[in-house]
Structure 1
Amino acid sequence: MTRAHHDVDTLLDRRKEPDHPLRELSEPALKAYVAEVLDRARARSLALTGAVDDDDLVKQHSALMSPLVWDLAHIGSQEEIWILREVGGLDPMRPDIDDLYDAFQHPRATRPSLPLLGPSEARRYVEEVRRRTFDVLARTPLSDRALTRDAFAFGMIAQHEQQHCETMLATHQLRKGDPVLHAPAPPPATVRDLPEEVVVPAGSFTMGTSVEPWALDNERPAHEVFVDAFAIDTTPVTNARYAEFVDDGGYADPRWWSDAGWAYRSEHGIVAPRFWRRENGRWWRTRFGVYEPVPGDEPVLHVSYYEAEAFAAWAGRRLPTEAEWEKAARYDPATGRSRRYPWGDDDPTPAHANLGQRHLRPAPVGAYPDGASALGVHQLIGDVWEWTSSDFRPYPGFTAFPYREYSEVFFGPDYKVLRGGSFGSDPVAVRGTFRNWDFPVRRQIFAGFRCARDVRYGDAVV
C-alpha cells in the first residue's frame, strides 16, 4: 500500500469513527492524564494486595489463579520492561526476575513453588519502578515513535495493571475467610418493563478501530462488516431467568449442551453457576466472603461459555457473534457511524456503567438508562463480561504490536471472545472495541451473557 493510499484509508476511518479526545490535549495535559491513570491503577493494586495479610498474599487460593504477590510483582516487571527499558532506555533493574514473572514461562498452578519476591520486596520493587516511570514520562516526547505516540506505552501499562487488578479481584472471590473488601451497593433499577429484545437491522458497520490511541493490537484495524438482521436481548440474562433453566433440569439434559460442554459439565459435576448453592428451596451465593440469597434482578455471573450456550439453546435462542455484539453496542443508525461507547463518544461516568470496582456486584438490569446504545440495548458496558459465540481471531489487516504474545499467540478456536467488561473492569481497559478472550470452561471470571436470534423477514421490521 502506498503512503497516499494509507492516508486516504485513514481519512475514511476517521469519518466512520469519532476523533479521540486524547489527541486534543497538549503534551503537558496528556502527561498529567497519564499520571492520573497510572495513579488510579496503582491505588487499586495496592488496595487489593493490602486488604489481606502477608500469609494470604503468598498463598495460592486456587490452582486457577496466581498468588496475589505474583500479580503485584508481575505488574512491576512488565512496567520495568516496557517503560524503563523500552521507552526510557534504562539499564535493567531486576533482569534476574524476568523469567519468574513471564506468564508464558510458568503456568499459574506452579507459580507458588517459584522463588518469588516476598511481599515487602515486591512492594519496594513496584514502588521504585513507578518512581522511575514518572521520571521517564517527564522527559519523553509523546510523538516521536509508535510506542510513545499519544502515550501508547503508558496507556498499555495502565491497562495491563488494571487487568491484573481484575484478576486479583477474581482471586479475592475464590479466597476463603471473612470479607475483606467492601463497597456500596450498585444503584437500583430506574427503568422497568424494558422490551425483551431489540431488533438490529441488516447492514454494514465499522468494527474495530484505527483511531483509538490506546487500543490494543487485536482491536485494530477498523473494517467494514456486514451483519444480517438479528434480535438481541435488551439486557444481560438475569439470575432469575437463569434459575428457571437450572430448576427445569437444564444441567441434567444433554439436549441443550454441545458435546464438549456436556463432557465438561459431566466430568466436573457442574449443576449451577459457580458459587451458587441450593438451600431450603432457595438459591444462595458466596460473594467476596458474604453468603447471601441470589438476587433475581442482577445479571447472572460466573458461568462458562458452555453454560451460556446451553441456556441459549434451552431458551430457543443463541449467543450473539462478536460482530453482532459490537454492532448492537456501537452502531448509530442516525449517523451511520460507530460510537466509542454505546451511549456516545464520551468516557464512562458512574451514570453510564458499573465499572472500576465501585461496587462488588453487578447492578440490577435497568440501572443505567444513560448507558443504553443508540439502538436501545442496555448495560453492554460493565456489570458482566458477555460471552459471544466467536472464536478469538485477528481482524483483516492485523499487525502484532508491540509483541506477538499479547494477542497473536492466542488466536484460534481454543478461545472464545467476551465483550463489554465487568464491575471489576476499569474504564481505561474497557471500550466499545475492547476484546477479551478466555477458555470456554472458565467460570471464576466475572462473566455472564445475553442471547440473540436470527430475524426473518416477516418476523419484525428490519
Structure 2
Amino acid sequence: MSLLHKYQLIRQKTIEFCSLLEIEDYAVQVVDFASPAKWHLAHTTWFFETFILKNHAKNYHEFDKNFNYLFNSYYNTVGERILQNNRGNMSRPSTSKILDYRKYVDAKMQEYLKDISDKKVTDLITLGLNHEQQHQELLITDVKYMLGHNPIFPSLDAAYNLVKDSNTDSKCIKIKAGVYDIGYQGTDFCYDNELGVHKVYVDDFEINNYFITNGEYIEFMNAGGYSDFNLWLDEGWSWVNNEQINSPLYWHKMNNKWHYYTLAGMQKVDENAILCHINYYEASAFAEWKGMRLPTEFEWEIASNNLDWGKRWEWTNSAYLAYPRFEKENGAVGEYNGKFMSNKMVLRGASVATSKNHSRNTYRNFFHTSDRWQFTGLRLVK
C-alpha cells in the first residue's frame, strides 16, 4: 500500500467515527484528561501541518496563525499552547472551521505525497499516521467518558458495545527461566521507546492465557474487595477512600443488579465478558486477593506469542522507564515519549478500541496508576 493511500485511509477513519456524533458533542470536555472531539480533529491535522507542510512543502501557507497555539499538545519546542484543561473552552473556532482545516491540510498533504522520496520525511509522515491512530483510540475513550457521564447515558451507536468480548481459552502457559531478548527487532515502524534490544533474566512463571472476567471481579467485590485495606497499595487505598470507589468505571447498581455504560447504551453487566475500565490499583488489589500477581512487561512480551491478546490494554507490574541505549531524537519529535518516563506504569497488548494495524507485542503503552478510562483489563501470573 502506498503512503498516499495509507494517509487517505487513516485520515478518513477519524472522520467516520466522528460522523456518529451530534454537533453539540464536538466541543464537550468533561474532565481535563479527556479532550473534546474537535480538538482531536484539529490536533492530528496540526501535526501534519507543523511537522511536514510548514517545514518541507514549497510555498505552503498556514491555514490559521492561531492554530499552533490552540492545537499544540505538549511540544515545548514548537511554542506556547493552551492548558489541557482549557480545551473545552474553545467554542471558537467552530467545528465546521476545523473540518475545513482538515480538508485544506489533506489536500496539501496529498499533493505533497505524490512526489515525496525523502526517507526522513516519509518516516515522519508514518509517525504522524501512527499518532493519528493513537488519537482515534483516544477519541473513542474520550467520547465514551463524555456520554458515560451524561445523566441519560445516551447511545452513540447500537454497534458500539465494545466490552462484550469473552475469553477463548482457559489454559495457563508455563515459561522456563532464562535470558530473553526484549524490544522491537523488526524493520517496520515502531516507537522510540520500543528500541534498544536488550536481555533480561526471568525466573520460571505461569501466565494465564485468559483475561479476568466481570463475573470474577464481582466475586472480588462481593467478598469486600473495596473495603479490605490489606489488598491495596497505600496510594490505591487512599484513592478508593478519597474517591468513594466501589466498582469499575461506568458500573452502576440498578434494581440491585450491576449495569454498565457501553457506547451502545446502558446494559446489564455480562459476567462472562472480559473485565474493562479498571486502573492499576484495582488490578493490583484483585491480584492480591487471588494470591497471584500482575506480569512484568518483560514476562508479558516473552509469553506474548502464546497469548490471546488484543482485547484489553493489560496492566503490568513494570514502571514506564527507558530501555538501555534509549535515545531521544533532537527537536520536537524527541518529546514524543521520553519525557513521560516517570510516575506511570506500562500496559501491554492492545484493545478493542485500538486502530487496525496499530499493535505489536513490543508496544509499550503507559498511563498513571489511577487512570481507567481506557479499555484496560488484566491477566494474572504465578
What TM-score results when the alignment is normalised by the length of structure 1? 0.75
Q: Look up the SS of the partner of 2:199 in the other structure.
A: strand
Instruction: Choose which of 447, 450, 458 in structure 1 pairs with 2:376.
Output: 447
Match of 2:89 among 113, 125, 134: 113
Matched, 1:390 2:359: no
**Is residue 209 of structure 2 the alignment partner of residue 240 of structure 1?**
no
**Is residue 221–residue 397 contact of structure 1 (8 Å, CA) maintained in 2?**
yes
In the alignment, structure 1 residue 436 sits paired with structure 2 residue 365: yes
Rounded to whole Å, the distance in 2 between the matches of 1:249 and 1:258 is 16
Match of 2:131 among 160, 165, 169: 160
Is residue 2:354 matched to residue 1:425?
yes
Q: Report the counterpart of residue 23 of structure 2 in structure 1.
A: 54
- Distance in 1, Cα, partners of 2:167 & 2:210: 14
Q: Is the alpha carbon distance of 1:313 and 1:51 closer, same or farther for their aligned partners in structure 2, counting shifts above 3 Å?
A: same
1:84 aligns with 2:53: yes
Question: Are 1:70 and 1:116, in contact at CA under 8 Å, matched by a contact in 2?
Answer: no
What SS does the corresponding residue of 1:35 show, helix, strand or coil? helix
Partner SS for 1:100: helix
**Separation (CA, whole Å) in 1 of partners of 2:142 and 2:341:** 26
Secondary structure, in 3 states, of the residue corresponding to 2:317? strand
Q: How much has 1:165 moved relative to structure 2?
A: 1.1
Does the Cα contact within 8 Å between 1:202 and 1:226 map onto a contact in 2?
yes
- Which residue identity is paired with 1:416? M
CA distance in structure 2 between the partners assigned to 1:160 and 1:127 by the alignment = 18
Kindly provide the CA deviation profile for residues 265-314 of structure 1, in whole angstroms up to 9, marking residues without a partner as x.
11000101011122344321110151111112222100011100110011
What is the CA distance between 1:179 and its match in structure 2? 1.4
Given that 1:209 and 1:219 are in contact with CA atoms closer than 8 Å, whether structure 2 keeps it comes out as yes
- Across the aligned residues of Structure 1 and Structure 2, the Cα RMSD in angstroms comes to 2.2
Counterpart of 2:380, as a letter, is: C
Task: Give the structure 1 partner of residue 340 of structure 2.
Answer: 410
Q: How far did 1:210 drift? A: 4.3
Letter in structure 1 aligned against 2:7: L
Superposed, 1:7-406 pairs within 5 Å as: 32=2, 34-88=3-57, 91=60, 93=62, 94-104=64-74, 105-114=81-90, 116-143=92-119, 147-148=120-121, 151-174=122-145, 175=147, 176=150, 177-183=153-159, 191=168, 194-195=170-171, 197-329=172-304, 342=305, 373=306, 377-378=307-308, 380=309, 382-401=310-329, 403-406=333-336
Deviation at 1:37, TM superposition (A): 2.8
Relative to structure 1, the CA distance from residue 60 to residue 190 in structure 2 (aligned partners, 3 Å threshold; closer, same or farther) is closer
Asked whether the 8 Å contact 2:159–2:264 carries over to 1, the reply is no
Structure 2 equivalent of residue 366 of structure 1 = none
Secondary structure of the residue that 1:428 maps to in structure 2?
A: coil
CA deviation map 1:371-399 (0-9, x unaligned): xx2xxx22x2x211011111111111111
> Any gaps of 5 or more consecutive residues in structure 1?
1-28, 330-341, 343-372, 454-462
Does the 8 Å contact 1:319/1:452 carry over to 2? Answer: yes
Q: Tell me the matched-pair count.
A: 367
C-alpha separation in 2, matches of 1:80 and 1:69: 16
What is the CA–CA distance in structure 2 between the aligned matches of 1:261 and 1:406, rounded to whole Å?
28
The alpha carbon displacement at 1:108 in A equals 3.1
Cα deviation, residue 247, structure 1:
1.0
Q: Percent identity?
A: 27
**1:241, distance to aligned residue in structure 2 (A):** 1.0
- Counterpart CA distance in 1 for 2:369 and 2:98 is 33
Alignment CA distance shift 1:212-1:243 (3 Å): farther
Residue-by-residue CA offset, 1:144-172 (whole Å, 9 max, x unaligned): xxx33xx3222211111111111110122
Equivalent position of 1:335 in the other structure: none
**Deviation of the 1:57 alpha carbon:** 0.8
**Cα distance change, pair 179–191 in 1 and its aligned pair in 2 (3 A):** closer
Aligned in 2, Cα 1:227/1:90: closer, same or farther, shift over 3 Å? Answer: farther
**SS in structure 2 opposite 1:427?**
coil
CA contact (8 A) 2:130 2:358 kept: yes
1:251–1:270 CA contact under 8 A, matched in 2 = yes
2:337 maps to amino acid? S
Taking the aligned partners of 2:293 and 2:361, their CA distance within structure 1 comes to 21
Moved more, 126-135 or 205-214: 205-214
Structure 1 counterpart SS, 2:283: helix
| Greater mean alpha carbon deviation, residues 318-327 or residues 100-109 | 100-109
Task: Give the letter for the 1:310 counterpart.
Answer: A
C-alpha distance after superposition, 1:27-70 (max 9, x if no partner) = xx5xx2x2333223222211222222222211224443111111
Q: Is this contact kept in 2: 1:257–1:310, CA < 8 A?
A: yes
CA change 1:249–1:189 in 2 (3 A) is: closer
Distance 1:107 1:314, change over 3 A: farther
Q: Is the 8 A contact 2:161 2:264 kept in 1?
A: no
**8 Å Cα contact 2:70/2:82 also seen in 1:** yes
Deviations 1:393-421 (A, max 9, x none): 11111111362211111012x11111111
Structure 2 unmatched runs, 5+ = 75-80
- What is the one-letter code of the residue matched to 1:96? N
- C-alpha distance after superposition, 1:59-89 (max 9, x if no partner): 2244431111111101100111122134446
Which amino acid counterpart does residue 296 of structure 1 have in structure 2? Answer: E
